[in-house]
Amino acid sequence: MWEIQLKDSFAKRYSNGYPLITKDTVQSMPDRMEEGSIVQLTDAKKRFIGKGYYGIQNKGLGWMLTQQQEETIDAAFFKQKIKSALDRRKSFFQDNSTDAFRVFNGEGDGIGGLVIDYFAGSYLIQWYSQGIFTFKSMIVQALDATTDYQAIYEKKRFDTKGQYVEDDDFVKGKRQTFPIIIKESGMRYAVDLNDGAMVGIFLDQRDVRRTIREKYAKNKHVLNTFSYTGAFSVAAALGNAAKTTSVDLAKRSKPKTIEQFSANDIDFEKQDIIVMDVFDYFKYARRKKLLFDLVVLDPPSFARSKKRTFSTAKDYPMLMKEAISITEKQGIIIASTNNASFGMKKFKGFIDKAFRETNTRYTFLEQFSLPNDFRTNPHFPEGNYLKVAVVKKES
The count of residues in the chain is 395
- What value does the mean pLDDT of the chain take? 96
What long-range pairs does 121-124 form, CB within 8 A, spacing at least 24?
121/149, 121/150, 121/151, 122/149, 122/150, 122/151, 122/152, 122/153, 122/173, 122/176, 122/180, 122/193, 123/147, 123/149, 123/151, 123/152, 123/153, 124/152, 124/153, 124/154, 124/155, 124/169, 124/193, 124/199
Q: Which pLDDT belongs to residue 29?
A: 96
Q: Could you tell me if residue 195 is inside a domain?
A: no
Q: Which pLDDT belongs to residue 197?
A: 87
Q: Could you tell me if residue 197 is inside a domain?
A: no
Q: Calculate what percentage of the chain has a pLDDT beyond 90.
A: 92
Of 162 and 135, which is predicted with more confidence? 135
Name which of 91, 144, 155 is nearest 117 in CA terms. Answer: 155
Last residue of a domain, one of 25, 45, 66: 66
Q: Say if residue 83 is in the same domain as residue 208.
A: no
Query: Checking phi first, is residue 117 left (phi over 0); if not, alpha (psi -120 to 50) or beta?
Result: beta
Cβ pair 336, 369 in contact under 8 A: no
Of 23 and 304, which is predicted with more confidence? 23
Q: Say if residue 57 is in the same domain as residue 95.
A: no
Q: What CATH code is carried by the domain that includes residue 282? A: 3.40.50.150
DSSP track, 204-249: GGHHHHHHIIIII-TT-EEEEES-TTTHHHHHHHHTT-SEEEEEES
Side chain identity at 107, as an amino acid letter?
E
Q: Which pLDDT belongs to residue 308?
A: 81
Q: Say if residue 170 is in the same domain as residue 213.
A: no
Q: Which pLDDT belongs to residue 20?
A: 98
List pLDDT tens digits, range 332-381: 999 999 999 999 999 999 999 999 999 999 999 999 999 999 999 999 99
Side chain identity at 256, as an amino acid letter?
K
Band (pLDDT 50/70/90 cuts) for residue 280 is very high
Q: Say if residue 126 is in the same domain as residue 255.
A: no
Q: Say if residue 170 is in the same domain as residue 207.
A: no
Q: Which pLDDT belongs to residue 163?
A: 57
Of 254 and 307, which is predicted with more confidence? 254
Q: Could you tell me if residue 192 is inside a domain?
A: no
Task: Please state, in angstroms and rounded to a whole number, the distance separating the CA atoms of residues 281 and 350.
Answer: 22
Angle between helices 136-146 and 75-88 (to 10 degrees): 50
Q: Could you tell me if residue 148 is inside a domain?
A: yes
- Using the predicted structure, report yes or no on whether residue 315 has a pLDDT greater than 60: yes
Q: Which pLDDT belongs to residue 59?
A: 78
Q: What CATH code is carried by the domain that includes residue 138? A: 3.30.750.80
Q: Which pLDDT belongs to residue 161?
A: 58
Q: Could you tell me if residue 94 is inside a domain?
A: yes
Q: Which pLDDT belongs to residue 160?
A: 52
- Using the predicted structure, report yes or no on whether residue 162 has a pLDDT greater than 60: no
Last residue of a domain, one of 157, 185, 213: 185
Spatial neighbors of 206 by CB under 8 A, at least 6 apart, are 98, 101, 184, 185, 371
Q: Which pLDDT belongs to residue 368?
A: 98
**Mean per-residue pLDDT, 203-213:** 98
Of 148 and 162, which is predicted with more confidence? 148
Q: Say if residue 365 is in the same domain as residue 294.
A: yes
First to last CA, the chain: 63
Domains identified in the chain, total number: 3
H helices of the chain, in order, are 8-15, 75-88, 90-93, 130-133, 136-146, 206-211, 231-238, 253-263, 278-287, 312-325, 344-357
Q: Could you tell me if residue 193 is inside a domain?
A: no
- Using the predicted structure, report yes or no on whether residue 388 has a pLDDT greater than 90: yes
Range from 151-165, 297-311, 337-351 carrying the lowest mean pLDDT? 151-165
Q: Say if residue 128 is in the same domain as residue 50.
A: no
Q: Say if residue 235 is in the same domain as residue 212.
A: yes
Last residue of a domain, one of 185, 216, 239: 185
Range from 168-172, 204-208, 290-294, 370-374 carrying the lowest mean pLDDT? 168-172
Q: Which pLDDT belongs to residue 318?
A: 97
pTM (predicted TM-score): 0.96
- Using the predicted structure, report yes or no on whether residue 165 has a pLDDT greater than 90: no
- Using the predicted structure, report yes or no on whether residue 287 has a pLDDT greater than 70: yes
Q: Say if residue 28 is in the same domain as residue 79.
A: no
Q: Say if residue 232 is in the same domain as residue 360.
A: yes
Q: Say if residue 49 is in the same domain as residue 107.
A: no
Task: Show the beta-strand stretches assigned E in 84-212.
Answer: 100-105, 114-119, 122-127, 151-156, 170-173, 180-184, 187-191
Beta-bridge partners for 38: 53
Band (pLDDT 50/70/90 cuts) for residue 304 is confident
Band (pLDDT 50/70/90 cuts) for residue 164 is low
Q: Could you tell me if residue 135 is inside a domain?
A: yes
Q: Which domain holds residue 61?
A: 2-66
Q: Could you tell me if residue 225 is inside a domain?
A: yes
Q: Calculate what percentage of the chain has a pLDDT beyond 70.
A: 98
Q: Say if residue 173 is in the same domain as residue 102.
A: yes
